[in-house]
Structure 1
Amino acid sequence: MPTTITGTAAGVPFTALPPADNGPAPLIVTWHMLDAPRTDAAFAAALPMHGLPAWRVHLGMPMCGARMVDGSTDAIVELFTKDPVMAYLYPFVRQASEEFPAALASLREQFPVGDGPIGVLGGSLGGAVALRVLAESETPIFAGAVVNAAIKMRSVVELFPGDYPYDAESEKAVDSLDFVAKADVLAERGPLLVVNGELDHPALRADAADLVGAIGDKAELRSIPGLAHALADEPGLEPAPQQPHARAVDEVLTEWFGRHLPVR
């Protein structure tokens, strides 16, 4: 089996997969789902992109993996039960994206990835992190990809039971995470692949199509037959054998990033 490296980068836990020769290569950074697979290690097992001549570093989301409270997801459940927007969705995306620059600087010190453009990938809520990095950071990006992503946070909120009681603060928070509205900015960044499951939530599929349509030629949409939202079986905390639908996503991602890797 290929080498797996674990560690932390500016306090952010990661699971890294090196290229075959363990040598200098471009860097791809990912953020995992909060559905299964819901840790960096489990996401690396679901979407390893083996054979890609790049370092793939899977960062842990807040309160996940090595940062779980008391080794469980109970604290996260408590947060989204309390307030799915202001205690869970918005602060998780904000923290993960805001801690990224320091984590990236640390990864550049730990691995032979150079200082050139990177690739970014996110799944579900991690997709919102990848899109925020694309839209708001100054980090050079050679290509991005998202899978079953939280593209418009209002659509994600509607998946929770009941009617969410928006106020001015929460309206501002969800509007800041509407990436269809940021399509013009995203179009100026690297090419973007939007992958969704044929059986994912209809609203998320509609958002994916809207985003690609709004970006235009710089974006591609790929639908995976038979795929729902999750990429692994529950509980999705530990590395597990790759499921067939995840393998199909993995193949699409490997081809996409391979096509756009910088020439070294």
Structure 2
Amino acid sequence: MDSPIRGTAAGVPFTALPPAGDGAAPLIVTWHMLDAPRSDAAFAAALPLHGVPAWRVHLGMPMCGARMVDGGMDAVMELARQDALMSYLYPFVRQAAEEFPAALASVRAQLPVDDGPIGVLGGSLGGAVALRVLAESEIPVFAGAVVNAAVRMRSAVDLFPGAYPYDAESEKAVDSMDFVARAGDIADRAPLLVVSGESDYPGLRADALALVDALGERSELLSIPGLAHPLAEEPGIEPAPQLPLAREVDAGLTRWFRRHLADTGRPLP
């Protein structure tokens, strides 16, 4: 296997895994979890998708990986303590989605990727980024996938202690990231694989099932028995050996992206 390539694209850190062979290849872009694995490099190790004949470019979320403050996640956790929704969950997803077009253009300028539709993949809060890109952007996408995703932001807020004090602004923000309600926008864009651990948080698990139901024939559900929310062991910042359950997720994602790459007419090895 070729070594990962570390770089920066329009200010966004990334870890890129090249496909076998020479010449321009398709592109799959990912956004990692804020649980383990919580950096682009760690997510690349957990879900490398080695069997997909495409570049896999794992983008760093805000204040994670190379953008961590003082080399740790304490600053992120402090934002979550201040205001779980308006200081943490919502601005992180919004920033990651808004910086993506420029990051994508920079990736295309740096790496030998083709100019066809891309794949998108996100885990947990990174899943909300992938869903927002599908729901709102005009970037052509051949297939998407999410893993233990924050499908409804209200459910993610409910994971924090205490009753959240919603007001008009926060109600608008949280409703904008209810991707079950926005399933029609997503279905119009690309087929979606929804990977859900059967031991994930109950609210996130229920939302995953609801999203598949709302998307209908444009989606598939991959349930992973025994999988809780994380895909790697703590601290989840540096690359680590792939866990057995992450290997199951990786295999399902590999099958999904290979199938839909073939549907685009690109030759597969």
1:208 maps to which residue? 208
Shift of 1:142: 0.0
Aligned positions of 1:1-264 closer than 5 A = 1-261=1-261, 262-264=264-266
Aligned-residue offset at 1:263? 2.6
The one-character-per-residue Cα deviations of 1:188-218 (angstroms, maximum 9, x if unpaired) are 1110000010100111111011111011100
Structure 2, gaps ≥5 residues long: none
TM-score, length basis structure 1:
0.99
Q: Distance in 2 between matches of 1:7 and 1:100?
A: 15
Displacement of 1:49 in angstroms is 0.5
Q: Which runs of 5+ in 1 are unaligned?
A: none
Kindly indicate whether the alpha-carbon contact (under 8 Å) linking 1:20 and 1:51 is maintained by their aligned counterparts in 2.
no
Shift of 1:111: 1.2
Shift, 1:51, TM fit: 2.3
Compared CA separation, residues 22 and 71, structure 1 to 2 (3 A):
farther
Contact 1:42/1:236 (<8 A) preserved? yes
SS at match of 2:8: strand
The DSSP-based 3-state class of the residue aligned with 2:95 is helix
| Counterpart AA for 1:246 | A
Structure 1 residue 22: deviation in Å? 4.6
Count of residues in correspondence between the two structures: 264
Q: TM-score, normalised by structure 2?
A: 0.97
For residues 90-137 of structure 1, what are the alpha-carbon distances to aligned partners after superposition, in whole Å with 9 as ceiling and x for unaligned?
000000000000000011111111221000000000000000000000
Alignment deviations for residues 155-176 of structure 1 (CA, whole Å, 9 cap, x no partner)? 0100100000001110000000
Spell out structure 1 runs of 4+ moving beyond 4 A. Answer: none
Read off the aligned partner of 1:42 and give its amino acid letter. Answer: A
User: 1:50-87 CA deviation, whole Å, 9 max, x = no partner?
Assistant: 12100000000000000000101010010000000000
Identity of aligned residues (%): 76
Question: More deviation in 20-29 or 58-67?
Answer: 20-29
